[in-house]
Structure 1
Amino acid sequence: MSASTDGQTDTAQDTVGFDVTEAHRLASDIIRNVESVIDGKHAVVRTALTVLLAEGHLLIEDVPGVGKTMLAKALAKSIHATVSRIQFTPDLLPSDVTGISVYNQAERRFEFKPGAVFANIVIGDEINRASPKTQSALLECMEERQVTVDGSTYPLASPFTVIATQNPIEMEGTYALPEAQRDRFMARISMGYPDESAELSMLAARNVSTPLADLEPVVSASALQRMMASVRDVYVSPAVKEYAVRILRATRDHPDLRLGGSPRATLQLVRAAKGYALVAGRDFVLPDDIDELAHAVLGHRLMPTSRALGHHQHTDDLIRDILDGILDETVVPQSHASGA
């Protein structure tokens, strides 16, 4: 499957980032474009763009009808790049995702027919309605940006990101995502219900047609690659790196968590914070950026113990406790030192 010229251009310029001002301006353009479709969800849109710029994959989880797929489509349409959509269903096969080798009788050889994953932005709609076998077809794609079929490896387009939606696992006809796949998503966000004014605006704007139909790209794929390069250049001080590591180590030692964050989670938390800083117009990361993203990056990776769930403690509560505990540990020694 071929991609557009913007999505496939591989020049030296694509690997050189913009300055912070230009990258921030383009990020603001994308946010405004998406918000013309998604009403009253600025924080959600900003986090979604942060994940895209940080070269991660995004999981959007919420009940049906709150705009999960609309957000994924709006973000994808804001970038002039190749986009494919996979509707995950119980009968979807792994080969529908990755591709399949087909025998060409005329040439007497097998030819690879690329699957839907061969695009810059892949929208996986209701990913947890497919079987675990089909869900696992995305593991290599998401981690290594490649597909291996019948012993041959095929690289994916650059940039490449998966934006998947899922319904809560309590809903009928869903399968829980494997831990290995959840860990490959940089962040999980929830849309939530719109407030009253946003819902009224939605009724007025969509009285005749959906605004998504008129949405136009505001950034090319090559410009997106340069924005991603700018994210890589954002400075992270040793103190901020240590703070991120302490948070992840605390998740592994917490008595109410039976599964803490992996080293991949540490890498992705820092990388997401760099993207968040760039969207905010900074070329350096603050500890507040780590705090702001901790719930989105860690919430879907952690598994509370049955005792914690019995006491109605969920991952957000435990992450908040961890952040507060690390803050207290940091503040107390400083106060003693000043008193000495």
Structure 2
Amino acid sequence: MGRAAVLSGVGGHVPGRAVSNEELAERLDTSDEWIRSRTGIERRHFAAPGTATSDLAVAAGERALKSSREGTADAVVVATTTPDRPCPATAPAVAARLGLTGAAAYDVGAVCTGFVYALASASGLIATGVAERVLVIGAETYSGILDPLDRSTSVIFGDGAGAVVLRAGEPDEPGAVGPFDLGSDGGGRDLITVRAGGAEQRLSGREPAPADRYFAMEGKEVFWNAVVRMAASSRAVLGRAGLDTGGIDWLVGHQANLRILRSLATELGVPAERNLGNIAEVGNTAAASIPLALADAHAAGTLAAGDRVLLTAFGGGLTWGSALLTWPDLAPS
């Protein structure tokens, strides 16, 4: 059977400042009703000035390590679209601040699919014997890359971090992660993007347009792609496990938009009561959304030991991915 990655801890963190729909409506041509009806979001959290993505990652990582019987890790993987700096990666600084100096540490950049990609990468470290325990974190400060006057993006995204601890274990024990399905289509890279700031723009010899410095998204095309790609990826991973949607207890999709999540559940035939999420309270936190949803569900006592959980995500790149896990018996948060 071989070694498997087993989830042994979970933690989440959002900044203290909650931003209501009413607050955004004061500076945007929108309203609380418009935002709720199109996104399902009631509030999101924005980091305070001077806060970095690593700060949120450290807070979530601390909570995940505390909840884990391992209490430590020999590798740290951070999934983020908003690293502290273009160079170096954010993960080594996070590891050092958590007292894990010397641990392997690297970032994964797959936008909103980042956590699933990071989870697969970390599982590979364990399966191959490179690591015994891995801390996997999704952390984002999207408030720093949003155009404050763009209604289509500013009302959707929020800041936050979620983390899990994986340990080496057996494929048939509670907490075991896998199988996985991952995919990409770079032909759609312009659908979700920040055009300025990278080598392509810097070496073009042209100053970027002001809008190119901000996150941009083609909402209608993203909606269709998200539902189709996540549904196909979910079916692929279920097929590898010899299951159908009747064999899962919870669907945890990337918290992109409530309409996307509902359409995905309908496409997969998953009842609404098994579609787990927290988008109303935190908005779309990109790579942090799945682990943050898991942390919140664990804290609420929603997840029970032995529950089969399907994770699925779609993001810029374009990227998509899915994973299965059996929820372990974790200490209450």
TM-score normalised by structure 2 residue count: 0.29
Higher strand share: 2
Q: Which has the higher contact order (CA 8 A, sep 6+)?
A: 2
Q: Which has the larger radius of gyration?
A: 1
